[in-house]
Amino acid sequence: MKKHRLQHGLLGLLTILATAVVTFLIWQVAGPKAQPIHLRGQVQQVKTLRLAAVGDSLTHGVGDETNNGGYVGLIKGDLESSGVYQVDTSNYGVTGDTSTQILKRVNAQKKLRTDVEHADILTVTVGGNDLMHVLQKNLLSISTKDVTSGATTYRRHLTSLLKALRQLNPKAPVYVFGVYNPFYVYFPNLTAMTTSVKTWNNTTQAALGDFDHMYYVDIDSVLTKGANTQANSKADKKKLESAMSGSSKNPLIFESDHFHPNNAGYALMTSQLWKKMQATESTWEK
């Protein structure tokens, strides 16, 4: 009797297991399929940008006490901090170079030419040393005629430089910085210097107008007057008065030479560059 019940129980268990297995197999074949989950916005591919900087001491970064290459290192850091870009920079700034000397390097240096050719973004600082040469020749008797003549020559040289860069790289946007007057706070009434800087910047903008995707970056408005253009509140004025209590009257200029930007000055240069890059993003954004 007990043996019969045991056999009956085992038979029932086997029947249940068999039914479960058949049901599972049917579900696997005919049941709804699991759909993959797509996570949008969770992973973003980092884009590589190549920036080649060509120019004089402002590209080299003279006055940057962090030795990070002035605005070149700062714009790299700003772009990479977004998490969107990896920026490879090449810095071809040489202190003291005029427009003609920069052009000679562009024509002669193989690595410079290669980096310019493959760049997604080009930046240029030029003109400051050209202007200083004109002023030094006519320091005690600078006239409008002298400045106009010098500006005409400078435009011809600058145009040659821009053509050379464009021949190497027909597509990349080129951002060209203007010049500023580091002596304004010492000699605000020296109108010849102020007029010369304005003429030089107008000349640069006119030359850029002959090319596509070449953009002027204004730094005169943020560096020349230093404290006079930056103090918008009482708190700002106190900070600037404190900064001016030292040997330098312009808190944006490097105290060791009273000529080049310091770290704060390069930060403002970078800000001006970034504004222009944002306004022309379609020319370099991948």
Burial, 121: exposed, middle or buried (Cβ in 10 Å; 0-12, 13-18, 19+)? buried
Burial, 272: exposed, middle or buried (Cβ in 10 Å; 0-12, 13-18, 19+)? buried
pLDDT in tens, 145-162: 889 999 999 999 999 999
Query: Residue 240's pLDDT is what?
Result: 39
pLDDT in tens, 77-92: 999 999 999 999 999 9
Query: Residue 253's pLDDT is what?
Result: 72
**Mean pLDDT of the 63-70 span:** 89
- DSSP letter (8 states) at residue 283: G
Query: Residue 207's pLDDT is what?
Result: 98
pLDDT in tens, 209-258: 999 999 999 999 998 876 444 444 454 444 434 444 444 466 667 566 56
**Mean pLDDT of the 136-145 span:** 77
pLDDT of 187 strictly over 80 = no
For residue 253, the one-letter residue type is: I
pLDDT of 9 strictly over 90 = no
Which one, of 25, 197, 46, lies nearest residue 127 by Cα? 197
Query: Confidence band (pLDDT; 50, 70, 90) for 262?
Result: confident
Instruction: Between 96 and 16, name the one with better pLDDT.
Output: 96
* 58, 219 Cβ separation under 8 angstroms: no
Tell the residue number behind the tokens 């029932």, with chain if given: 12
Q: Average pLDDT over the chain, rounded to whole?
A: 81
**Mean pLDDT of the 171-178 span:** 98
Q: Has this prediction a pTM greater than 0.85?
A: no
